Structure 1
Amino acid sequence: MQETAGGRAEQKARTREEIKRAALRRLREGGPGAVSVNALGKEIGLTGPAVYRHFASRDELLTELIVDAYGDLAAELRAAVEAARRRSRPGRVAALAAAYRAWALREPHRYRLLFSAPLPGYDAQSEPLVAASQAAMDVLVELLAAPGPPAPAPPRALGTQLGGWARRRGVGHVEPATALQAVRLWSRLHGLVSLEIEGNFASMGLDVEALLRLEADDVVG
């Protein structure tokens, strides 16, 4: 029986997902350097050229993994905020912070992909990645733009920069003070979580969850 165009498309989609699952396994076990096209092909029974028919390069494959990771993180954050919708704004921010940390601890190999170039020469600031990253930031910005105590206004020059960033990313309706809150909170969450997943708090015996709550309260409390 002749294969239909729809059947071929479904098979191609299944193969792409299989390649990505294999890449994630290698990423978890050995980091980005372990994501070799030839090794992936052997693992799933394809030749290297066959893998390249689905992903033109290793960089393209890594880019798709990063875009997927941003989407999953954003979905986790949005679900956490929705589940906490009856709480106060600080309570919803705490829920978002806890969800951010939980996702990073559960998926450290994917979390690391989001904030640094996985391999030398990789453009971690390409437009597709910057656009993908905005989904998670949008959840935070929307939450902080909800009614609550007014945020301190940033210095004029920084306020202009924040306004420009908001317009470029399609959230130009957000006040610079709210954008500043979002950037400060994201920076603090990222700093604490990055230190934690690399084991830097292990020898100190600190409660990272408590530290996270303090940082969130300091920004929006």
Structure 2
Amino acid sequence: MATTTRTTTPRERYRAQIRAEIKQHAWEQIATAGASALSLNAIAKQMGMSGPALYRYYLNRDELITELIRDAYRSLADAFRAASAASGSGTGLGALAHALRHWALADPQRYFLIYGTPVPGYHAPDDTTAIADEIMTALLDACPAAPADASVSPFEAHLAEHRTWAADHPAAPATLRRALAFWTRLHGVLSLELAGHFTGMGFDAGRLFAAELQDLLAAAGSPPGRG
């Protein structure tokens, strides 16, 4: 069966190059002043373009923010996919935890764009939400299932009726609870570390993350993953 190779014109390649440059300037702005201060006019000035010229590449600020958020979620989803593929049997949760921390430390501004304070007035489109669902699905797939005869806590009973966040995953309520514990506790450590709240406290934040992960894996009945 013949394969079709997608070709691009010089105009398309130039447009992609300019869009990538705009995004790079946007990340620099976010690192300096946060996503809420993102300005297309300021980016145009940095690039030696007029405002109307830049708007040929991004219609407005929300479209640019959407592109950045989409890129951020996609990069984490890809990191989770690679970690899942590389991990051995029973090590999935640990592998995902280490992938999450490596991804967050590599680019804190990217992390905070999707897991920090929401951008005022911005609502993520459905396709971006779908990528975020891939991340949660990978987490739920890696969580060991609870014993069939395990008792159900009040919160797990609540999760049985409030599972929209789980993206239609068939996991039992106890597994949903394990996934949430994993997600919230590790994000709590990462958010504080990346925001600099551990600075001067005299301990290694990486060791704190590892200790939290060890406790979570023990509670889930899963062996440690590879770092």
Class of the TM-score when normalised by the shorter of the 2 chains: 0.7 to 0.9
- Partners of 1:129 and 1:117 lie apart in 2 by 17
**206, 213, 216: which one pairs with 2:213?**
216
Structure 2 counterparts to residues 23-38 of structure 1, below 5 A: 23-38=26-41
Match of 1:78 in 2: 81
- Partners of 1:76 and 1:17 lie apart in 2 by 21
SS in structure 1 of the partner of residue 216 of structure 2: helix
Does structure 2 retain, via aligned residues, the 8 Å contact 1:80–1:99? yes
Match of 1:157 in 2: 158
- Partners of 2:23 and 2:109 lie apart in 1 by 14
Tell me, yes or no, if structure 1 residue 64 matches structure 2 residue 61: no
Change (3 A) 1:165 1:99: closer
Identity %: 39
Match of 2:126 in 1: 127
Normalising by structure 2, we get a TM-score of 0.79
More RCO (CA 8 Å, sep 6+)? 2
Write the letter of the residue equivalent to 2:114: L
Between structures 1 and 2, the one with greater helix share: 1
Tell me, yes or no, if structure 1 residue 204 matches structure 2 residue 204: no
Structure 2 counterparts to residues 104-119 of structure 1, below 5 A: 104-117=104-117, 119=119
Change (3 A) 1:84 1:5: closer
Match of 2:13 in 1: 10
Unaligned residue ranges in structure 2 (runs of 5+): 1-6, 219-227
Tell me, yes or no, if structure 1 residue 53 matches structure 2 residue 56: yes
- Partners of 2:195 and 2:165 lie apart in 1 by 30
Coordinate RMSD, CA, aligned: 2.6
Normalising by structure 1, we get a TM-score of 0.81
Match of 2:138 in 1: 139
SS in structure 2 of the partner of residue 68 of structure 1: helix
Does structure 2 retain, via aligned residues, the 8 Å contact 1:74–1:136? yes
Does structure 1 retain, via aligned residues, the 8 Å contact 2:36–2:120? no
Match of 2:221 in 1: none
- Partners of 1:130 and 1:49 lie apart in 2 by 30
| Cα deviation 1:128-168 (Å, max 9, x = unaligned) | 443232222222112115xx664964432322213x443xx
Tell me, yes or no, if structure 1 residue 183 matches structure 2 residue 180: yes
- Partners of 1:170 and 1:70 lie apart in 2 by 19
| Cα deviation 1:153-211 (Å, max 9, x = unaligned) | 4432322213x443xx242x222222221122111111110000111112222232332
Does structure 1 retain, via aligned residues, the 8 Å contact 2:76–2:135? yes
